[in-house]
Structure 1
Amino acid sequence: MSTSPKRIKFILFLIVFTDMMGFSLLFPLFPKTLEFFLFKGDDVLFRMFYSAANLLSFGGDTKYTFVLFGGILGSIYSFLQFIAAPIWGRLSDHSGRRAILIFTTLGNTIGYILWLFSSQFWMFVLSRVITGMMGGNLSVASAAMADQTDEKSRAAGMGFLGAGIGLGFVMGPLLGGISSQWTFLDFLHQEGSVVVFPASAFFAILVSLLTVILVYIFLPQNKPEVIPEKEIHPFLSLGKIESRNLVRISLLNLLFVLSFSGFEFVVNFFLSDSFHFSPKEIGFTFLYIGIIIILVQGGVVRRLSGKISEKRISLYGALLVVIGMGLLVSLGTSFAGLFVSLFFLAFGSALVNPGLSSFASLESGRGDLGRSLGLFRSFGSLGRAVSPVVFSLLYFQKGPSLAFFVSFVLLIGFGILLFTQKEKTT
């Protein structure tokens, strides 16, 4: 079997596509799923979460309780990704990308099986804990892509990988919304043995199994040479990292993810609450966002790669997301204003993400890509761990307008700091 770099890149594209599709299936279902558990309210762990939400509410509007509830749950998931992603990345430097990808995708499958049978809230939380712990796939896949590229083609490779992520991001919510209307497993839900929307969870299991098969059959083993390191988690050795640029770029990633993922998290609830979108309609909204991301990362980024710097690609993206968030704050209550702002936000983020990833990878040695990109992704996961609680609390207190305005201000700060960031040291 041929293991040419071109073939491996396409396999990595398929891996992140199926992995992201399985992960994002839940997005349009999240509001209604949490409402289901709020309605049941018969679980000890549920009552603990609900008490935490009440402690954080400070008199906020109770109609947003499920938003804050989801924020707490989302933060737990992302905090586990923050812990796990660099560990998987570092282990992949030692053991090879293929072995770690097989392990993490199998773990995701187990998490989705638990999701299917989550008739109780504690089982749903456990499923999110497992999938959060297995959340190192993107850092390992990014390192594998970096293995196949040189410095000039790095941004194009990351853009191609980003297109796979974007396509999965499109198909996941779309199929999640569509599969929520499938009824062939509803009899199990009526018996109380499975979660609400069981067909969607079942579909996520199938998609995750497909990812395992793709990795096992098609991805060749690769064991790069590495520099020995005692600390497996890069946060334990931040002071020893030679490239201070890498640390600063990772901090920029934290700020961008904190501000942008806060918007990403609450927009599901915003569409459900303000526009009364069904899971299927939320899915089609994500389709719109994802198509833009695919076209930009699969076309625009690949054409810009090698012609302008990774920093400049990211700066163009930062400008667009600031414009988009500003439009959302001022015009987002109208249907037209919503979709115009989403266009700029999707276009901009599609430039920032591969631009920053490539920027970070250029600050690492060939044998240290897993650790370096694990550090970079870990800072992003830390942002995702903080943002759900912070932005759902803002949403809880004042509705979506305050949450989106804070995101707008943070994105302006990100753009300014990115502008002052030095490019690769020599």
Structure 2
Amino acid sequence: MPDPTPPVTPRRAALVFIFVTVLLDILALGMIFPVLPQLVVGFVGGDSARGAEVFGLVSTLWALMQFIFAPVLGALSDRYGRRRVVLISNTCMGLNYILLALAPSLGWLIVGRVVSGITSASISTASAYIADVTPVDKRAASFGMLGAAIGVGFVLGPAMGGLLGGVDPRLPFWVSAVLSLGNALYGLFVLPESLPPERRRPFEWRRANPVAALLRLRANREVLGLATVHFLHNLAHTALPSVFVLYVGYRFGWDARAVGLALGGSGVFTLLIQGGLVKPIVKRLGERRTLMLGLSCGILGFATYGLADNPVVFLAVGLPVMGLWGLFSPASQGLMTRRVPPSEQGQFQGTLSSLMGIAGMIGPGLFTQTFAAAIAPQHGVHQPGAPFLFASMLLVLALGLSLRATRTAPEAVPAAVGPAA
């Protein structure tokens, strides 16, 4: 059945549409962060230790579903268009939030989070949408605006969720459902299709499964190198949600209010940099050097977090330097999408989401165990900043790989990433 929506025309209008779509989606996602752990603990009789174990399992299942299904949904967007996948994803997410709001037991809650992981395609499909409608030399700036939308969502979402959760722990799920379903309705009437029929490709299960999608990266060494850098970036990033709260509470004695203010400040820096500085920096330095600058700032930022012996240095130096790490993602996306043909952008973005899912599965345990070992008295090595120093070293490795992977620039977008796996 052909998509009745006409192809997109003005690029700026299309980017506004996708910006709002992603912003609403991340707002909905962010609002459940403060209350989901409480809901899990309530289902296990108020046992915080057991609740933490179950919540970790639920988070791992979500990442696993993202790993498995992101390439499938990306390939479907290459076949049927981005618009349909975004609309179906947002509709399913809205219905899923209603399921979570009404969940009568832990089993139903787990089912809801599994469904959420399966349908969380909006970011990868939005990235493919941007690649469809933006000239290659302007993609980094457009991906920066996408990052700004994500930053705004993650700043406002948890704050709204905390306020709503104070009224009723299930209220954030209802509001998230309204936002997601409203997002789908908005897209139904406003969001144009970005991938015309002549640029689509048939759907093939043998290409869409996550293992085959990852193996296909081997066909292009530059794409493989940049995708590996992307994975290391995401793995290092998991250090922040995994141990940030534990670290600042242990080292500086911060309470929930101080942590919230610090995270809010971090979000503001991310918004300013990705929303306002990416375009002029890329124009002046180019995508390759912007990527290197972003990774270098990430290295220095994590090192500052890990070594700062007082909160003033942590905040005054660490936060702005870590904010500049945000230059990496839009520059990286700009470089990678140059090397992937239009008919494979959806599947490629799904593959990147699979790599993010792998990082989400292994990162939390890796960094929390590093933190536990670094402060355990029996080990005799008291270095609470060890997880951040480890993340810094991962980015050093990523910087070395990116230097090698970007030595040459493609003269034109290839016809395909490589032969079918």
For normalisation by structure 1, the TM-score amounts to 0.82
1:180 aligned to which of 155, 158, 165: 165
Mark the CA change 1:134 to 1:271 in structure 2 (over 3 Å): closer, same or farther: farther
Mark the CA change 1:425 to 1:239 in structure 2 (over 3 Å): closer, same or farther: farther
Instruction: Decide whether the 8 Å contact of 2:282 with 2:331 is kept in 1.
Output: no
Alpha-carbon distance, 1:18 to partner: 0.8
**Paired AA for residue 263 in structure 1:** L
Q: Render the CA deviation track for 1:135-184: whole Å, top value 9, x for unaligned.
A: 21111001111111111111111111111111112111221222232x2x
Q: Percent identity?
A: 22
* 89-98 vs 167-176, which moves further: 167-176
Mark the CA change 1:260 to 1:239 in structure 2 (over 3 Å): closer, same or farther: closer
Instruction: Decide whether the 8 Å contact of 2:78 with 2:347 is kept in 1.
Output: yes
2:152 aligned to which of 167, 177, 200: 167
Residue correspondences, number: 390
Q: How does 1:19-418 map to 2 (within 5 A)?
A: 19-29=25-35, 32-37=38-43, 39-40=45-46, 50=50, 66=52, 70-181=55-166, 183=167, 186=168, 197-224=169-196, 225-228=199-202, 230=204, 231-233=207-209, 235-240=211-216, 242-270=219-247, 275=253, 277-278=255-256, 282-331=259-308, 334-340=310-316, 342-344=318-320, 346-398=322-374, 401-418=385-402
User: How many Å separate the matches in 2 of 1:357 and 1:268?
Assistant: 29
Alignment correspondent of 2:415 = none
Tell me, what secondary structure is at the counterpart of 2:125?
helix
**Paired AA for residue 264 in structure 1:** P
User: How many Å separate the matches in 2 of 1:296 and 1:376?
Assistant: 23
**Paired AA for residue 192 in structure 2:** P
Instruction: Decide whether the 8 Å contact of 1:323 with 1:344 is kept in 2.
Output: no
Mark the CA change 1:83 to 1:268 in structure 2 (over 3 Å): closer, same or farther: farther
Alpha-carbon distance, 1:283 to partner: 4.3
Alpha-carbon distance, 1:351 to partner: 0.8
**Paired AA for residue 212 in structure 2:** L
User: How many Å separate the matches in 2 of 1:212 and 1:72?
Assistant: 29
2:21 aligned to which of 3, 15, 21: 15
Instruction: Decide whether the 8 Å contact of 1:325 with 1:341 is kept in 2.
Output: no
Q: Render the CA deviation track for 1:37-57: whole Å, top value 9, x for unaligned.
A: 55535xxxx9xx95xxxxxxx
Alpha-carbon distance, 1:200 to partner: 2.1
Q: Render the CA deviation track for 1:368-405: whole Å, top value 9, x for unaligned.
A: 21122222232222212221232233345445533333
Alpha-carbon distance, 1:272 to partner: 6.4
Instruction: Decide whether the 8 Å contact of 1:318 with 1:415 is kept in 2.
Output: yes
User: How many Å separate the matches in 2 of 1:217 and 1:391?
Assistant: 44
- What is the RMSD computed on CA atoms of the aligned residues? 2.8
Alpha-carbon distance, 1:263 to partner: 2.2
Instruction: Decide whether the 8 Å contact of 2:201 with 2:343 is kept in 1.
Output: yes
* 344-353 vs 365-374, which moves further: 344-353
* 260-269 vs 24-33, which moves further: 24-33
Mark the CA change 1:407 to 1:22 in structure 2 (over 3 Å): closer, same or farther: same
User: How many Å separate the matches in 1 of 2:323 and 2:104?
Assistant: 39
Instruction: Decide whether the 8 Å contact of 1:86 with 1:139 is kept in 2.
Output: no
Tell me, what secondary structure is at the counterpart of 1:252?
helix
Alpha-carbon distance, 1:316 to partner: 0.8
Tell me, what secondary structure is at the counterpart of 1:309?
helix
User: How many Å separate the matches in 1 of 2:321 and 2:398?
Assistant: 14
Tell me, what secondary structure is at the counterpart of 1:220?
coil
Alpha-carbon distance, 1:12 to partner: 0.3
Q: Render the CA deviation track for 1:267-308: whole Å, top value 9, x for unaligned.
A: 245456764533x66544332221111110111101123433
